[in-house]
Structure 1
């Protein structure tokens, strides 16, 4: 096949893959051996940045954008009049190796529309990963999108060659899925998730006894929800996410704002686009639930079903619970410190370590890196307190927003001065 045709396929199938955001990696380690090609060090592979500021990338494509389903929210739905293409298995293998040798990528994220049936599509995805591992001795990162409805045997095999597997739940609720994807069944998404979870547990147990046991999906599994295609509240979304974290040991749940692709009376109008800030607030809430000790009901409940877009969810919670503040930085335990706006978990650890040697004052907290423009209204320390006045929640919110705006304007002015 000509180079021009390969390039045309790549253009079509890379563009179709951009709607899947669940392409980050973490925790996967696949050491290079016998002078193989590539090395997955677990630093994370996607168009993102590592902690040291290094940009990492992957080849992110669909095997095909042909699909037997007609899901209302999907750009590859069978009724959508778009240009179609499909890669051969060897073409994806050759592209991955060629791009890796050129230092374009560090791994592969491979998804697909469903052609013929779930098992046929999953077999072809696995064949790509298997060829890369066994024939090309490729040790870089591989993320395979699991196909809903694929058999247990295929899901087991997929995890032996991929670092991470993911099944996109797509719509947060069963009712929403029935409305927008009536051809799909909720249990077809759940079955492969359960299989991957069980296999990970089994292989980890066997490796404790037999060290030569291969690693199964060492970077775990993830899923993605489309936000804003149906009427779920942020509370509905986060309860669903919490369920998948607990039930299937998910590494990550990704939140993807609905992008209008074609008119459909079941969907919001083409002019309606989910604010990127809503995605951001959902990710912040996800983080608070997983690492800061919050529960969904504390952040989102019958009274507050959706997140505030102008402030982060921790600050929103604090303003609704001013009776729990101020917190004494020199006496509070870890869980109380973690709930203070402007203080992250790294700062919590630094505070706990530093106060073993001295009582902390404002200068110490500033040196630690705490966002005092928010935190100072919720804490006391070993300094004279100038900040705790009788603000109403609304007054305090407006004051913090004003401070943040002034800080951003000052930063912008300083940046402009560099070019004066």
Structure 2
């Protein structure tokens, strides 16, 4: 690798780290034509699939030149940073060379917008076409959609990319206009709708004609920056819920804002990214996607912010004690999965196991539930406590104390104190 390519790689890989909407979950492209790579084989960015596999991707920008001046973006045109741009062939060569050395399993390619949207999207499209058609590369490719690009370019890109994504940036139009006045949510909604329509169309055609090519088989995702504006968790989660429902997104990513400027438009910025808040948003997102919660149950006008001390499921349970205790031996799955400390897999095991007889505490522990948390919300064959003896504030105190005790025990074990 030449010194110039190495320098470009350092600059453009570093700039790409701020985009967290990077996942290979859902890729199913197989190597059945004698080419290279396989998008679903287990494996320079590490990301995780929905089934827990860790995979490595070459995560870079085509360029960090940009015609926009978004206050939250490190690549904004007014920022005094080193600029660089790869040629199409350089990205292709890097991807193939890294893959052959077993450094990566796929490519995550984004870009600043230089000249205009079509010019940028054309070059991104050329990269993926060369990889698929000339190099016969079958590894995973996540390609960024450029807002405002010609629909024909997006349609063609969907035939070569496994996943496409376009960043919403801010949860509300008002916040976006404040920090990026040249952008709008409409610029994001149009390509999302276009790609979603293409996914549905190609899926329908494949039911009739098996030879129909795949179109964005791993779906679409988006990203919102968290903490750069005063938007509440309610604003963020309601926006995410809307995009899940309207555009069939696979994931919404929440990126804690990393301070890169002292712009007066962002008065709420601290010195560190709001990582705990980011984590709570992901937990709330999980409840909507896998646990059957409506967004208004998690955040609403009365509770516009997620509790930083408690995970969203426990917080909801403490606000709705009238739904508890849940009888493990008779309650439907939809209620069991709402119990704090019981996950989807554990709830499924409980429903299956109770067919053989009533479940006791020791059996629940063997199934793998977090019993110290769940015990206040369930009843089983030998429940040692009467739920009505506890109030929300008491349960919260007990759970927090239990969590701290567990942390202290783990720390002590690591220090060989026990």
TM-score, normalised with respect to structure 1: 0.96
Q: d(CA) in 2 for partners of 1:312 and 1:13?
A: 36
Q: d(CA) in 1 for partners of 2:341 and 2:364?
A: 11
Q: CA deviation at 1:297?
A: 1.2
The residue aligned with 1:79 is 78
Unaligned runs of 5+ in 1: none
Alignment of 1:168-183 (within 5 A): 168-183=167-182
The residue aligned with 1:151 is 150
- Structure 1's 52 and 306: CA in aligned 2 closer, same or farther, altered over 3 A? closer
The residue aligned with 1:247 is 246
Alignment of 1:191-202 (within 5 A): 191-202=190-201
- Structure 1's 338 and 108: CA in aligned 2 closer, same or farther, altered over 3 A? same
Q: CA deviation at 1:44?
A: 9.2
The residue aligned with 1:214 is 213
Report Cα offsets for 1:305-327 as digits up to 9, x if no partner: 00011110000011111121111
Report Cα offsets for 1:199-241 as digits up to 9, x if no partner: 0001011111111110000000000000111111000100000
1:235 aligns with 2:230: no
The residue aligned with 2:295 is 296
Given that residues 376 and 387 in structure 1 are in contact (C-alpha distance below 8 angstroms), is that contact kept between their aligned partners in structure 2?
no
Q: d(CA) in 2 for partners of 1:51 and 1:358?
A: 33
Alignment of 1:253-292 (within 5 A): 253-268=252-267, 271-292=270-291
Q: CA deviation at 1:271?
A: 3.7
Q: d(CA) in 1 for partners of 2:184 and 2:275?
A: 29
Q: How many residues of Structure 1 are paired with residues of Structure 2 in the alignment?
A: 418
- Structure 1's 367 and 343: CA in aligned 2 closer, same or farther, altered over 3 A? same
The residue aligned with 1:6 is 5
Secondary structure in 1 matching 2:143: strand
Unaligned runs of 5+ in 2: none
Secondary structure in 1 matching 2:415: helix
Q: CA deviation at 1:385?
A: 2.2
Given that residues 24 and 47 in structure 2 are in contact (C-alpha distance below 8 angstroms), is that contact kept between their aligned partners in structure 1?
no
Q: CA deviation at 1:51?
A: 7.8
Q: CA deviation at 1:50?
A: 5.7
Secondary structure in 2 matching 1:47: strand
The residue aligned with 2:343 is 344
Q: CA deviation at 1:390?
A: 2.4
Report Cα offsets for 1:332-390 as digits up to 9, x if no partner: 00111011000001011000000000100001000000000100010010104236352
TM-score, normalised with respect to structure 2: 0.97
The residue aligned with 2:34 is 35
1:225 aligns with 2:224: yes
Given that residues 25 and 42 in structure 1 are in contact (C-alpha distance below 8 angstroms), is that contact kept between their aligned partners in structure 2?
no
Q: CA deviation at 1:43?
A: 6.1
Alignment of 1:62-211 (within 5 A): 62-211=61-210
Secondary structure in 1 matching 2:252: strand
Report Cα offsets for 1:32-88 as digits up to 9, x if no partner: 123200011176995134688753210000000000000111000000000000000
Given that residues 57 and 105 in structure 1 are in contact (C-alpha distance below 8 angstroms), is that contact kept between their aligned partners in structure 2?
yes
Secondary structure in 1 matching 2:255: strand
CA RMSD between the two structures = 1.7
The residue aligned with 1:404 is 403
Q: d(CA) in 2 for partners of 1:373 and 1:385?
A: 12
